[in-house]
Amino acid sequence: MPLEAVKSVMNRFVEFINTSDEDLGREVISPDAVFHAPSHPEPLRGPEGYIEVIGMMRSGFPDVQWTLEEMIGEGDTVAARFTMRGTHDGEFFGIPASGNRVSVQAMNFYYLADGRIVGERGQPDLLGVMQQIGAVPAP
């Protein structure tokens, strides 16, 4: 894919995760997409799988927003670094709301085909999240 097309897909994807717009999710994510998330033991599939992850995040952090800080592409593969920010106003992995603001990084790889995301492998800083909400002692 040309670089401008890759940027367009990624910008639409960020809009999707920040708004939870399911129609946009179906436009930017292939129905056959496979996502590997550390929060789930098995891969998630299609737009519905990603909507499930976003729902989990929003249940713990209703105001969660992601900022795409940088991305590097080679062919149809994109490495993207995000900052996730939100307020812990709901239960997250069994931890009751703390009201704490969090800001952590995530490094994800996206695989694209035909103008859509067909796969992702993500590494969010879950330890950082757990420290910032008070579930794990910070060093």
Indicate the pTM of the whole model.
0.91
What is the rounded distance in angstroms from the CA atom of residue 41 to the CA atom of residue 120?
Answer: 15
Each residue's pLDDT tens digit, 55-91: 999 999 999 999 999 999 998 999 999 999 999 999 9
User: Which one-letter amino acid corresponds to residue 11?
Assistant: N
Each residue's pLDDT tens digit, 13-30: 999 999 999 999 999 999
Greatest CA span in the chain, whole angstroms? Answer: 45
Coil, helix or strand for 82?
strand
User: Which one-letter amino acid corresponds to residue 80?
Assistant: A
Residue 27: C-alpha distances to residues 24, 83, 124 (Å): 5, 23, 24
